[in-house]
Amino acid sequence: ATIGISLTINGEVRELPVAPWTTLLDLLREDLDLTGTKKGCDHGQCGACTVLVDGKRINSCLALAVMKDGADIVTVEGLAKDGAMHPLQAAFVERDAFQCGYCTPGQLCSAAGMISEGHATSREEIREAMSGNICRCGAYTNIVDAIEDVMH
Ligand code: FES
């Protein structure tokens, strides 16, 4: 059996039938083909699945889609506007803030959420605030450089 929910996804309102056990991550990737959001661990430990829900960053692998009925979701596909990269995307390119790129969508969404939270200002605080997003290539220095470029 499915349950009907309504989500705004990257600015578009969608009425969606979902199974009660479907995670927000699987809904995005499997049902909506928004495969920018990545599945790394599926256990809340890597951050590759980070999206913004009502402006706050969450691990979408840990959220059941039905629990987000009515929410406003932004995925990496929604960051660029009018054909222009989001400032974080431009800074990541500029600073070479990735190697394989698998963690990048999650890093970008997490950084966007972190900046709007407004708590982290110093380099140390940014590093701490981004610690839920693992990068196996170890591009952390460049990632923090890119985020700092956008913040300052
Ligand atoms: Fe969700 Fe790793 S896939 S935190």
Q: Report pLDDT digits (tens) over 38-55.
A: 999 999 999 999 999 999
Mean pLDDT of the region 59-73: 98
Residues 107, 96: Cα–Cα separation, whole Å = 13
Label residue 139 by pLDDT band (50, 70, 90). very high
pLDDT of 152 above 90: no
What is the residue whose two structure tokens read 């059996």? 1
Is there a contact between 50 and 40 (Cβ–Cβ < 8 Å)?
no
Confirm whether the ipTM is greater than 0.90: yes
Nearest atom within ligand 1 for CA of residue 47: 4
Mutate to test the pocket of ligand 1, among 41, 131, 134, 136 (most ligand atoms within 8 A of CB): 41
* Nearest atom (ligand 1) to Cα of 46: 2
**Which domains can be identified in the chain, with CATH numbers?**
3-78 (3.10.20.30), 87-151 (1.10.150.120)
Question: Which tens digit of pLDDT belongs to each residue from 95-107?
Answer: 999 999 999 999 9
Atom of ligand 1 nearest to the CA of 62: 1
Ligand 1 centroid from CA 66, angstroms = 18
Q: How many helices and strands in the chain, by DSSP H and E? A: 5, 5
For ligand 1, the distance from its centroid to the CA atom of residue 39, given in whole angstroms, is: 6
Residue 29, ligand 1, Cβ within 6 A:
no
The runs of H, that is alpha helices, within 14-139 are 24-26, 87-94, 104-117, 123-129
